[in-house]
């Protein structure tokens, strides 16, 4: 609940520190004293828009601070924890919302001392306070609030949360399936191309080092005659020429040198080298003879080789790569095709998951719809009865449940929900947001809050002049209803009716202080005697009489009893 409100240099308020209690707090005062200024300032802490005109003349900034006890508001504590905006040092301490508006029109918001955008103040504020006035800050005009109130009344909040999560899972899975399937025809065409290209490469079946071997063999076969002639000539020169050959020359040289005994070192080394040369030449001749013996100059083999190399070169040109890169490209295409196959498998899996999530959603959403339909008529009847008590005889209230136009799972369930009202007999039911009279809207809102207060998660309710346009017995009923609400939480109500003011647990009096320089607004918490005097003044007259004081004491006494 709201435990403290501090306002500095806002409008005609120079300085205001207000401690607030649980129960029903009445705010009264003379016309123009600024009763609604406090609520306007509070609205700024809750994210309302502001401009430089709210700064008190002569001041450089307006500073408003609201402190809340979150002991009974787990939603607000969870909201803060999700954003790492927990309480200050003491986890059990108050949650502090602050708004600073400069004379130049700049605005800054803070939650527990941390700077935050206006939207965060608004989002948190909706979990803390519900302000009912003739202004836009009223959650009962929002469809989300209608749905929440009905679910709380029906006790289906947890089921509604499950439905929301089921719809979110379905949506996430659908988005992933769309992503996997997004390229559609393009992906299928790519898959087809890859399959064809890999089939070509598989049919080619290029072996490891095959290309190098083929090119070398082809080179040999192409130059066969020249190669054979060269080999025969070398053999002849080395060993077969009768007129003289290398081996016979080496043999003769070794024989001549070997005839001398006791050769000097240099001659011995030369002899060894010549002997080694003789051995190497003999081995070379042997290798050349073996090459000639096994050399196959088959023209058919040459043609086969040329056809094979042509197939390799043609495929390489087709892919615009070097022939030596074909094997690496084949592996690359294979991996890409595997990735596309994995996407196909993922799409199949996601399709199955999507169907399962939709079945789960339909099951939970169907249960939720049944609870909502059962509770809607009960809640509507209870609110309609309170409307009768609040001076709206013949008024009607209905909760319209309409099937969603979309067949896709929606986070809010299978239906749209709207509060419909007819304030006067003979008038058609219309959306609550379209009720023309501010007084009627306030009383209808009050009736709804009275019924749903037992389950409402918003602990602090603010009613700004909800008694406009009513009086007599109805005013007393309004006061009693507000007191009942205050007994379950915290109610702040601005009123000009003594019948309402007498019902409060506390009474705050707004008045003006005038000096030679300026006029300021001040707020006082009235004791019992002061409260009786204020209610007597509200009953009728500048001059207090014994009769008006006695009447005021009787009203306060009856309310307290």
**Chain segment 410-424, per-residue pLDDT in tens:** 999 999 998 999 888
User: What local confidence, expressed as pLDDT, does residue 195 receive?
Assistant: 81
Per domain, the residue ranges of the chain are 1-20+28-133+503-524, 185-340
Answer whether residue 431 shows pLDDT above 90. no
User: What local confidence, expressed as pLDDT, does residue 182 receive?
Assistant: 65
Cα distance between residue 6 and residue 65, in whole Å:
5
Cα distance between residue 461 and residue 38, in whole Å:
14
Averaged pLDDT score across all residues of the chain = 84
Among 354, 409, 375, smallest CA distance to 165 is for: 409
CATH code of the region 1-20+28-133+503-524:
3.40.50.300
Label the pairing between strands 519-525 and 61-68.
unpaired
C-alpha distances out from residue 63 to 9, 14, 72, 103, Å = 7, 10, 27, 11
User: What local confidence, expressed as pLDDT, does residue 399 receive?
Assistant: 94
Q: pTM, whole model, 2 decimals?
A: 0.60
Higher pLDDT, 183 or 3: 3
User: What local confidence, expressed as pLDDT, does residue 405 receive?
Assistant: 87
Beta carbons of 309 and 215 less than 8 angstroms apart: yes
Q: How far is CA 247 from the centre of its chain?
A: 92
Highest mean pLDDT among 27-41, 185-199, 292-306, 491-505: 491-505
User: What local confidence, expressed as pLDDT, does residue 17 receive?
Assistant: 87
């Amino acid at each position: 609940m709201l435990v403290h409100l501090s306002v500095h240099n806002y409008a005609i308020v120079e300085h205001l520190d207000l401690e607030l209690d649980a129960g029903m707090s009445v705010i009264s005062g003379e016309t123009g004293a600024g009763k609604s200024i406090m609520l306007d300032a509070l609205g700024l802490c809750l994210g309302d828009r502001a401009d430089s005109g709210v700064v008190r003349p002569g001041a450089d900034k307006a500073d408003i601070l609201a402190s809340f006890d979150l002991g009974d508001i787990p939603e607000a504590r969870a909201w803060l924890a999700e954003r790492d905006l927990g309480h200050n040092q003491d986890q059990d301490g108050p949650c502090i919302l602050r708004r600073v508006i400069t004379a130049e029109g700049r605005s800054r918001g803070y939650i527990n001392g941390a700077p935050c955008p206006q939207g965060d103040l608004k989002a948190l504020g909706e979990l803390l306070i519900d302000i009912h006035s003739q202004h836009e800050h009223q959650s009962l005009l929002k469809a989300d609030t209608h749905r929440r109130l009905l679910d709380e009344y029906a006790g289906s909040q947890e089921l509604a949360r499950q439905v929301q999560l089921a719809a979110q899972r379905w949506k996430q899975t659908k988005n992933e399936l769309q992503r996997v399937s997004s390229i559609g025809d393009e992906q299928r065409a790519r898959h087809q191309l890859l399959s064809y290209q890999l089939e070509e490469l598989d049919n080619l079946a290029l072996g490891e080092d095959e290309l190098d071997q083929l090119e070398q063999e082809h080179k040999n076969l192409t130059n066969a005659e020249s190669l054979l002639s060269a080999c025969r000539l070398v053999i002849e020169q080395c060993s077969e020429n009768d007129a003289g050959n290398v081996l016979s020359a080496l043999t003769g040289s070794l024989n001549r040198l070997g005839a001398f005994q006791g050769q000097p070192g240099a001659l011995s080394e030369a002899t060894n080298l010549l002997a080694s040369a003789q051995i190497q030449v003999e081995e070379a001749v042997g290798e050349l003879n073996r090459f000639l013996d096994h050399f196959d100059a088959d023209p058919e083999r040459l043609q086969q080789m040329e056809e094979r190399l042509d197939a390799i070169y043609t495929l390489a040109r087709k892919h615009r790569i070097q022939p030596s890169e074909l094997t690496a490209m084949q592996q690359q295409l294979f991996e890409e095709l595997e990735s596309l196959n994995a996407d196909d498998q993922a799409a199949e899996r996601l399709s199955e998951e999507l169907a399962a999530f939709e079945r789960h959603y339909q099951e939970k959403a169907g249960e939720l719809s049944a609870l909502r339909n059962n509770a809607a008529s009960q809640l509507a009847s209870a609110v309609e009865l309170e409307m009768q008590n609040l001076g709206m005889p013949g008024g009607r209230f209905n909760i319209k449940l309409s099937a969603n136009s979309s067949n896709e799972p929606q986070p809010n369930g299978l239906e749209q929900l709207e509060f419909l009202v007819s304030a006067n007999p003979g008038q058609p039911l219309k959306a609550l947001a379209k009720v023309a009279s501010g007084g009627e809207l306030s009383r209808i809102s009050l009736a709804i809050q009275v019924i749903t207060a037992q389950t409402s998660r918003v602990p602090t309710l603010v009613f700004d002049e909800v008694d406009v346009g009513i009086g007599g017995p109805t005013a007393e009923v309004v006061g009693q209803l507000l007191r009942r609400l205050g007994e379950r939480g915290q109610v702040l109500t601005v009123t000009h009716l003594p019948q309402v003011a007498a019902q409060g647990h506390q009474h705050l009096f707004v008045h003006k202080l005038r000096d030679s320089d300026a006029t300021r607004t001040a707020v006082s918490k009235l004791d019992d005697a002061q409260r009786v005097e204020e209610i007597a003044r509200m009953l009728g007259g500048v001059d207090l009489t014994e009769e008006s004081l006695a009447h005021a004491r009787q009203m306060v006494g009856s309310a307290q009893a």
